[in-house]
Structures are given as C-alpha cells and as structure tokens.
Structure 1
Amino acid sequence: MHTAEGEHAPEVPFQAIIEQALAGIYVMQDERFVYSNKTWAGMVGYTPEELVGMHLRELVAPDFLDTVLHRYYQRLTGEVQSMRFHTRGVHKDGHIVHIEIHGSRMIFRGRPAVGGVGIDISERVAQDDALRRSREQLQELTAYTSRKLEEQRLTFARDVHDELGGMLTALKMDVSRIARRMETEELRGMTQDALGLTQDIIERVKAISESLRPSALDHDGLGIAIARDLEQFSARSGIPHTLTGRDVPLRLSPKRSIAVYRIFYEGLTNVARHAQAQQVAVSLEEQDNWFVLELRDDGVGFVPSTLAPRSLGLLSMSERAREIGGELVIDAARGRGTRLVLKTPLLI
C-alpha cells in the first residue's frame, strides 16, 4: 500500500487491518525484518520502528538460529512454499519468548521475501512444561508407592506366616495336649472343636500370607506362581483355564517378576469381577529379548473410553509396565472379550 509518503510507508496490502491484528505479522528479506506490525514487534519488546532492520541473530535464541535460518532459506528459495513451526525468540529484556510461526514465500517490493504470522505461545508452553513436570512427579510418586507397598506386603506376609502362624501352631499343639487329658466326652468334643477352629485359622492365615506375597514367586518362580493362581481362580469361579509356557525359563529380574505378577493378578481379578467369561487363556513366552504375557477371556468385554476416570486398576497396571520399561496393550470391545498383552525386557 502506498500513501502520500510512499517511500517511507511499508508496501503491505490491507495495512489498517494488519496494524490492528491480534496476531503478529512480519516480512523478512536478506535475513532482516523489513516489516512488522505492532503485535509482532511487541512480542519481543520492540516497536515496529526499532524492529525493522534487525537481523535474525538479534531476535532468535542462539541454539535455534541455525534451524531458523535453514527454514528461512527453504521458503525463500521455494524449496518449501509454506511452513509452520515453533521458535524461541529473545525478548528485548533477555528472556525467551516462545512463538508459533506460519510463514510463506512471497514477493515484497519486487523481490522474494518470507512473510508470516506469529502468536506468542509462551504461556501455553509454560503450562505444558508444568503439566509434564506434574506427570513426571506423579509417575515418580506412583513408582515410589508401588515399591513401598511391595515392601510392606513382603513384611506383612512374613510376619503373618512366621509369627502369627507360629503362634497358632503352638496353640494347636497345646489344645491337642489338653484334648488327650479330657475325661468326659463333652470336654473332648469341645477341645476337638477348638482344634478344628484353630486349624481353620491356620489355613486362613496361610491364605492371607499367600495373597500378600505368593511364596511360589520367591521360591518356585513366576510361572509356578501364575499356575497356582489360575488353579485357585478356576476352583473358586468354575471358569476353566489354559496355561502355555509355564516351564519357559523366564529370564526376568526380581523387580520385573513382581511387576509382571501384579499386572497378571490385577487382570485376572478383573476377569473374575467383570468379564462373565466361559474360558480364560494365559500364555508365557520369550520373543527375541522380550518376555510376553498374554491374558485372554471370552467374556462381555468393555469399551475402554467408557471407563470412569476413577478406574485405577488399568492405570496401575499401565504404570507398573512403564516402570519396568515394558509395554501394556489392552484390546477390548463390548461383546468380544478382552485381551491383555504385557511385554517387558529380558535379562541379557
């Protein structure tokens, strides 16, 4: 656009609209700004008059200058007609400004130039960084909580099995001695009832200890622990199961074995609670340098996107998998069952 002072006014179409635009608008030639509206200049703390004539190196963060120059010449030469990217500008007072740019090749005053639009996204970047840090802290907290919970489970399991179990066994022996000295049928019957109750409590204590930390996991290995849980699952629910790969020599660290077991147990618990399945199939195998566990059922399935935000079971499994460098995939759809696949690195 020309005015009465044409030689001084920038030749930009729709000048009045551009000057009032909420987005920053610029034109560059010879690596320098030849036009800027107030919004663009204001993003880096200058007036348009101050900005015109400034070189890119004065306004771009040093570690990003080569990238910006490369993209500038890609558009200037026509290699790329238009480009959208995020850059880091340097404000007049020295702080970094994050700017999203959409720039294109154009002709300005008869010569090739690069013109474009930019918006200040510093606030959005700060929010994204804060959210990322919050997620990282949440992941660290989740991992810490899982470790502490596992430690407590192990301690409780040992205390329940060793101390409480030992005390109950001693009580059973004392009741047995008393029973042998009873002189009446009534007293003998009472002591036999006490013996039966004591034995029931001992079995219950064993079951609680096993639920806290299966002894098979420490003594016999992951495959045996999973096999025992499946046997108990079928006995309680009446749902038959198949297990393949029980005897595969699983080269997993203790930490990964525990995490895999907890993910498997949570998945099996979900089957018992929700699936209404007729069959459950589990496979354990090694593929290249990965251990792979697959848990399938033929139940009612579900749509993952419909789960309530407080469905922490799946979140817990995903976090456990992430913590051990693994991958968890849950393939489910309403009416066609659920398939859970866990992969985690093997010891090499």
Structure 2
Amino acid sequence: MSENKLLLSFLLELSEALSNYGQPQIQEELPKLFCEVIKADGCAIYEQKINNYILHKQYSASVSSHFASFWQQIGWNLSTAAVYIDAPETAGRYFQGGIWQRCLLLPLLREDKIEGVLLAGWAGASPLDGLLQEELRLLQPISQLLSDIYCTTHLITALKEREKSLSILYQKAEQELENGRRQVSLALHDEVGQVLTSILLQLNILQQSEDLDYVKGRLGGLSHITQQTLEEVRRISHNLRPALLENLGLQAALESHIKEYTDSTGIAVEFRHHNLEERLPDDVEIIVYRAVQEGLTNVARHAGASSVMINLTVKSNKLLLQIADNGKGMEERKSSGLGLLGIEERVKLAKGKFWLLNQKDQGLTLNILLPLV
C-alpha cells in the first residue's frame, strides 16, 4: 500500500505547509510541492472562467514540458470526485502537446460546484498506477483541502472589504444619528420651544387684562403663531418619517417626494408603477422610499442628468424597483457611496438583491428586488 502512504504523506506535508506559511504562499508553492511528494513530472492549477479553465499556476520538473494557458473539457464530464487516468490516449485529452502519459484530476469545489481543477501529469509510469478504485477516496480530503486553499481566497477578500465598508457605514450612521438628534433638539429648543415660551408669556399677560378688545386682538395673533408652530412640528416629524408614507402608503409618499424634487432641481422624473393598490409591509415601504430618496439625491449631485425614470412593480410576491437616469454614469474606478451602501445593507437584511447597471455616458440604473413574504 505504498500509494496510500504517498497520499497520506502529501496530506500531512500540505497541512504542515499551511500552518507554517499561510494561504497566499501555499497557493504559489503548491504545484511544486505536489510534484515533489507525488513524484509527478508536472502540475497545474486551473480556475474556471465561463466554459474554459484558465491556467493560474504551474510547475514542471522538465523545461520541455509545459501546460496550455487554458484547458477546456473535450468529450469529458469533469467529476466532482478525484479521477486518475493511466491510459495515454485518454490522458492526452487534457494536454495540448507534450509527453504526458498519465494524469490526475482533482476538482476544486465550492459548495459542491466545480470552481477549478488541479491537473497533474506523468511522462511515464506513475506511483499511482497501482491505486485501486476505492483507494481514490483518499484523494477526497486532499481535493477538499486544495479547494479551501484556492476557492475561498476571493471570498475572504470580499468579506474583508465588506467588513471595512460596514465599519465605515456604521460610523456614518452613528454620526448621522447624532446629527439628527442635534438638529431635532435645536429645532425643538430654538424654534418650537421659544415660540411656546412666547405664547405662554402672552397668555399670562392676557389673564391679567380686563380689556376684552385687547384680549381678542391678541388672541388672533396667538392663533397665528400657534399655527406656525404646528407647521414647524409637522416639518420636523416629516423629516423623521413622512406622514404620507405612514397614512396613505408608498405611492402617495413617492409622488409627493418626486414633485418636491422636480420643483427644486428641475430634473424631470417619470414614475411608473404597477400593482401598488394594496399596502406593502412597513419595512419594504421604508426601504423603497429611502432608496428613491437616495437615488434621486445621487442623480442631482453626481449624474449630470436631465431626466430620471422610476419603475416600481409588484408581481408574484416580489417587488422590483428601478431608478434609471440619462446622466454620465459612474466612473469605473469609483465604488458606491455610503448612501447607496446603506440602501444595499437594508435590502440584504430584507433578503433582497441590490445591483447597479452602469453605462458610461449613458447613465446609471439602480435595481432592487425584494421579497414580500
């Protein structure tokens, strides 16, 4: 059972190398390590890109032997299990030229989906020639370990970027929350509080007056001041949560906001909607309303657009929102702003999908798909 010892030896070598060097260095050194332990003449790592497998890293013991820059399956369904081929004609399918007579295919899997393949070759006899079919199972833990090494790096990088973005977003949210509290506090104290104090003082004066004509005249003025104060309280409340959204629903709230937006910016907005007769869940309505707010704000600030199209459709327990402008689009090197990132996080928390379609000099389309159950 020397083949078994060989495979176990490689598994131990790989585990030890991982603990000593870490993932990035192992990705570079693994083909060479594989050749040295398994006694292969060459080894290559291919990553799947659409229908092709693109060469990621290779090592050959001989200068004359090499691997193609891409490898495509020809008449072979790549298995999710390890495959060893000791027939030269069959093995030759996986190489473009060269001296290869044997080959080993180890799939790189992520969630049972093939993301790449390790392809090892031998120019002549191989130490694995005596490997029985059931002993191929010893290659499965090796395949899994290779998958962890090569198929999780981009996920880790994406998670780190997401963690960084969420940290920035959290700080911004905390800052905006504190600014919001400060603004409400100042509005209540400086505007509402002072007016109420003035009303109270004037009422005290009127209580002491016996001139009815004077009292009636002053009451008219107090009524006007009270009405203004009520409007100010409504304005503060509207900034916190629009009353129209609360009382009349999403369609009315959006139509009101769009009218105010068009009046203040001069940007034409066409609002198309389908199947909005019924009220939607509260969290969905606020997500859509804030998304439209943020989307229109971005158009006014950055897009250089003259018109915006908003499509809102409810169908089959799903809601689709699209906000498309005719502006200059988003610069490729520029990432989404924190406002859009905040909307994206709201959508993800609601188990929805968020994506942008960017066309340079033709505009940007914001897309949101939300489940309604």
TM-score by shorter chain over 0.5:
yes
Letter in 2 for 1:232: E
Q: What is the aligned partner in structure 1 of residue 241 from structure 2?
A: 213
Is 2:270 the counterpart of 1:242? yes
Alignment-derived partner of residue 293 in structure 2 = 265
- Distance apart, 1:266 and its partner CA: 0.6
In structure 1, the residue matched to 2:356 is 330
> What is the identity, as a one-letter code, of the residue corresponding to 1:284?
L
Looking at structure 1, the residues matched to 283 and 88 of structure 2 have their Cα atoms a distance apart, in angstroms, of 55
Please tell me whether residue 340 in structure 1 is matched to residue 366 in structure 2: yes
Query: Post-superposition shift, 1:342?
Result: 1.7
TM-score (norm 1): 0.55
Alpha-carbon distance in structure 2 between the residues aligned to 1:149 and 1:255: 23
Q: Structure 2: which 5+ residue stretches go unaligned?
A: 1-29, 44-78, 95-104, 110-115, 132-142, 212-216
Distance 1:76 1:194 in 2: 100
Q: Which residue of 2 aligns with 1:223?
A: 251
What is the CA-CA distance between 1:235 and the residue it aligns to?
2.0
> 1:102 corresponds to which residue?
119
2:332 is paired with a residue whose SS is helix
Among candidates 24, 40, 59, match of residue 33 of structure 2: 24
| Alignment check: 8 A CA contact 1:223 1:246 kept | no
Structure 2 CA distance, aligned partners of 1:173 and 1:200?
Answer: 12
Q: Cα distance, 1:229 vs. partner?
A: 0.9
Amino acid at match of 2:282: P
- Partners of 1:107 and 1:289 in 2: how far apart? 61
Q: Which residue of 1 aligns with 2:56?
A: none
CA distance in 1, matches of 2:86, 2:225: 84
Structure 2 letter corresponding to 1:23: K
Match of 1:6 in 2: none
Deviations 1:297-327 (A, max 9, x none): 33x32234132x5832332333332222222
Q: CA deviation at 1:259?
A: 1.9
Task: Label 1:318 to 1:195 Cα distance change in 2 as closer, same or farther (>3 A).
Answer: same
Whether the 8 Å contact between 2:108 and 2:146 is mirrored in structure 1 is no
Residues 331, 360 of structure 2: 8 Å contact kept: no
* Rounded Cα–Cα distance in structure 2 between residues aligned with 1:342 and 1:253: 16
Is residue 2:77 matched to residue 1:72?
Answer: no
Q: Match of 1:329, SS?
A: strand
| Residue 322 of structure 2 corresponds to residue 274 of structure 1 | no
Measure the CA separation in 2 of the matches of 1:191 and 1:297: 52
Separation in structure 2 between the aligned mates of residue 148 and residue 344 of structure 1, nearest angstrom: 26
Letter of the 2:312 counterpart: L
DSSP-derived class of the 1:270 partner: helix
| Matched AA of 2:299 | V
Q: How many Å separate the matches in 1 of 2:123 and 2:367?
A: 52
The answer as to whether partners of 1:165 and 1:205 remain within 8 angstroms in 2 is no
TM-score by length of 2: 0.52
Deviates most, 237-246 or 261-270 = 237-246
1:108 counterpart letter in structure 2: A
Deviations 1:31-51 (A, max 9, x none): xx5x369x9xxxxxxxxxxxx
1:152-206 alpha-carbon deviations (Å, 9 max, x no partner): 999999999999997577457547758987x9xxxxx999999878766654443
In structure 1, distance between residues paired with 2:314 and 2:235? 31
| CA distance in structure 2 between the aligned counterparts of 1:314 and 1:198, rounded to whole angstroms | 39
CA–CA separation in structure 1 for the residues paired with 2:31 and 2:120: 16
Change (3 A) 1:244 1:303: closer
Quick one: structure 1 residues 123 and 264, their matched pair in 2 at CA, closer, same or farther if it must change by over 3 Å?
same
Q: Does 1:302 align with 2:329?
A: yes
Number of equivalent positions: 274
Aligned mates of 1:142, 1:326 — CA distance in 2: 22
Within 2, Cα distance between the matches of 1:25 and 1:247?
Answer: 60
CA contact (8 A) 1:76 1:113 kept: no
Contact (CA 8 Å) 2:40, 2:122: kept in 1 or not?
Answer: no
Match of residue 292 from structure 1: 320
CA contact (8 A) 2:192 2:233 kept: no
Whichever residue aligns with residue 90 of structure 2, its letter is G
CA contact (8 A) 1:25 1:36 kept: yes
Question: Quick one: structure 1 residues 136 and 336, their matched pair in 2 at CA, closer, same or farther if it must change by over 3 Å?
Answer: closer
Deviation at 1:271, TM superposition (A): 1.7
For residues 27 and 81 of structure 1, the distance between their equivalents in structure 2, rounded to whole angstroms, comes to 24
Q: Is the 8 A contact 1:160 1:205 kept in 2?
A: no
Q: Structure 1 338/120 Cα, relative in aligned 2: closer, same or farther at 3 Å?
A: closer
Aligned-partner Cα distance in 2 for 1:197–1:335: 51
What is the rounded CA distance, in whole Å, between the counterparts of 1:75 and 1:148 in structure 2? 65
CA distance, structure 2, for counterparts of residue 79 and residue 123 of structure 1: 26
Identical aligned residues as a percent: 20
SS at match of 1:72: strand
Query: Contact 1:302–1:333 at 8 Å: present in 2 too?
Result: yes
CA distance in structure 2 between the partners assigned to 1:74 and 1:259 by the alignment = 59
**What's the Cα RMSD here?**
5.6
Query: Structure 1's 223 and 78: CA in aligned 2 closer, same or farther, altered over 3 A?
Result: same
**Structure 1 gap ranges (5+):** 1-20, 40-65, 88-98, 184-188
